[in-house]
């Protein structure tokens, strides 16, 4: 009997994508024996309204550059092609239509996002459509995360998992700040992405894009 397709969905702003994202995706792919991980750059994320997000075309192309050498990684434009705010529930429903109801989806996110997951649009339905994998990283309060996971499991069953990934304390915020201040970002993200940032002068303090 052929087993069900298992797909990872790596959602994020990816502004810019960095090695922390890639290491997390690969660790989860191995841990859950996923057939592939689809990176989904957010189009117009509602939770980023307080900050100006880099043009979606740049974020999409940087994600392609970062993942192109891994045969198990793909990039989808499903969210950047959508008008208005982009919500995870709509994305998962679209993937369900594309890959079939029997496909198992594992939405990969940072452990800190788990603290807010019940506030996401249609969270009740979302937690019944796919599994969630919360990736731990340095600086996250373990007890607080575990308490929230227990709360979700009591409500929805065993639909959310915590995975510890190699300790890479890299953040997109830090990378943007480094570029703005003229500091090096080498070895924090793939070289093609670094060159792309330089070519299009992204994250400069006077950037008006």
CATH assignment of the domain containing 52? 3.40.50.620
Residue 201 lies in a domain: no
Does some domain include residue 121?
A: yes
Residue 72 lies in a domain: yes
Would you say residue 165 lies in a domain?
yes
**Domain assignment of residue 186, yes or no:** no
* pTM of full prediction above 0.85: yes
Residue 128, pLDDT above cutoff 70 = yes
How far is Cα 81 from Cα 90, in angstroms, rounded to an integer?
13
Sheet holding 104-110, edge to edge: 73-75, 36-41, 6-12, 104-110, 131-136, 160-164
pLDDT of residue 140: 65
Domain that holds residue 43: 6-169
Asked if the structure places residue 190 within a domain, the reply is no
Structure confidence at residue 208 (pLDDT):
42
Half-sphere exposure of residue 61: CA atoms within 13 angstroms, side-chain side: 13
Total domains in the chain come to 1
pLDDT of 205 > 80? The answer is no
In this predicted structure, the answer to whether residue 177 has a pLDDT above a threshold of 90 is: yes
pLDDT at 170 over 70: yes
Asked whether residue 64 is assigned to any structural domain, the reply reads yes
User: Confidence class of residue 50 from pLDDT cuts 50, 70 and 90?
Assistant: low
Domain annotation covers residue 105: yes
- Would the pLDDT of 138 be above 70? no
């Amino acid at each position: 009997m052929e087993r069900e397709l298992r797909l990872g969905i790596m959602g994020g702003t990816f502004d810019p994508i960095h090695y922390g994202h890639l290491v997390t995706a690969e660790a989860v792919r191995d841990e859950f024996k996923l057939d592939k991980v689809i990176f989904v750059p957010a189009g117009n994320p509602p939770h980023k309204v307080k900050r100006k997000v880099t043009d979606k075309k740049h974020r999409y192309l940087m994600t392609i550059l970062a993942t192109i050498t891994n045969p198990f990684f793909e990039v989808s434009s499903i969210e950047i092609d959508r008008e208005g705010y982009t919500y995870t529930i709509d994305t998962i429903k679209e993937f369900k239509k594309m890959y079939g109801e029997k496909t198992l989806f594992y939405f990969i996110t940072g452990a800190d996002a788990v603290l807010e997951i019940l506030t996401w649009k249609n969270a009740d339905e979302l937690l019944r459509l796919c599994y969630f994998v919360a990736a731990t990283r340095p600086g996250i309060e373990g007890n607080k995360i575990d308490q929230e996971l227990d709360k979700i499991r009591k409500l929805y069953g065993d639909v959310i998992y915590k995975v510890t990934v190699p300790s890479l304390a890299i953040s997109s915020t830090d990378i943007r700040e480094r570029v703005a201040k003229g500091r090096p970002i080498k070895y924090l993200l793939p070289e093609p992405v670094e060159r792309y940032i330089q070519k299009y002068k992204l994250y400069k303090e006077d950037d008006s894009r």
